[in-house]
């Protein structure tokens, strides 16, 4: 069995999730017709951006509050290839964390619902001077409280 990227902690809310539907474009494949490995971070980004919009806290919302969230860690497990014109879904999971960081998990499935790729990213929260925030800023703490209260389902 696969070890979870972000193990569940008792008493915390479940991840926020959504699925994004995609089709592999010609520009995304390599000479042998499979998705080039360097494209997967942009697929993850599709889900990250959609999660932010869906739950009311996207990149520009962070920026408007004087916070940026660069990637600290990016991990990808390639299990099977995706091919040109193949339909697939990107499931994004935003995992609960009370620290000043964002934990996202990604699961890509082909049209047969087989998992092709898994991965995760961790983003740190920084202020406008690019100093690491040790505690989440007030607007993010409010978001976490709404999440914990079940208001973001």
Domain locations along the chain: 16-148
Spatial contact of 21 and 47, defined as CB atoms under 8 Å apart: no
Q: What is the pLDDT of residue 1?
A: 62
The CA distances from residue 10 to 7, 24, 72, 105, 106, in Å, are 10, 38, 26, 19, 22
CA-nearest of 3, 6, 1, 2 to 105 is 6
Domain spanning 16-148 has what CATH number?
3.10.129.10
Q: What is the pLDDT of residue 96?
A: 97
- For the chain, residues with pLDDT lower than 50 are none
Query: How many CB atoms within 10 Å of residue 132?
Result: 11
Q: What is the pLDDT of residue 79?
A: 97
């Amino acid at each position: 069995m696969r070890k979870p990227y972000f193990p569940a902690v008792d008493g915390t809310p479940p991840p926020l999730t959504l699925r994004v539907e995609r089709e592999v474009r010609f520009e995304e494949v390599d000479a042998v017709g499979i998705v080039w490995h360097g494209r997967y971070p942009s697929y993850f980004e599709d889900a990250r951006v959609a999660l932010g919009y869906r739950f009311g806290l996207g990149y520009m919302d962070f920026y408007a509050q004087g916070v940026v969230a660069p990637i600290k860690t990016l991990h990808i497990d390639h299990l099977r290839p995706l091919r040109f014109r193949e339909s697939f879904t990107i499931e994004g999971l935003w995992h609960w964390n009370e620290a000043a960081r964002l934990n996202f998990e990604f699961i890509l499935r082909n049209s047969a619902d087989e998992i092709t790729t898994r991965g995760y990213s961790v983003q740190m929260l920084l202020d406008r001077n690019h100093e690491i925030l040790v505690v989440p800023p007030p607007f993010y703490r409010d978001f976490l409280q709404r999440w914990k209260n079940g208001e973001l389902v």
